[in-house]
Amino acid sequence: MIKVVFFDLDGTLLPMDENMFVKGYFKMLYEHVKHLGYKQDELINMIYAGMKAMYENDGTKTNEEVFWDQAVKMMGSKVRDDKWAFDEFYKTEFYNTKKLCGYSDEPRKIIDYLHEKKIPVALTTNPIFPYDGTKARMSFVNLRPDDFILVTTYENSSYCKPNPKYFEACLSKLGLKPDEVILFGNNTKEDGDCASSLGIKTYLVNGYIIEDEFSTGTYERINMEDIIGVINKHIKN
pLDDT tens by residue, 98-110: 999 999 999 999 9
Which helix (DSSP H) or strand (DSSP E) does residue 1 occupy? none
pTM: 0.97
The per-residue pLDDT of the chain, averaged, comes to 97
Mean of pLDDT values over 140-168: 98
Sign of CA pseudo-dihedral 157, 162, 163, 166: positive
Per-residue model confidence (pLDDT) at position 237: 61
Q: Is the pLDDT of residue 236 over 80?
A: no
Residue 14, beta-bridge partner list: 10
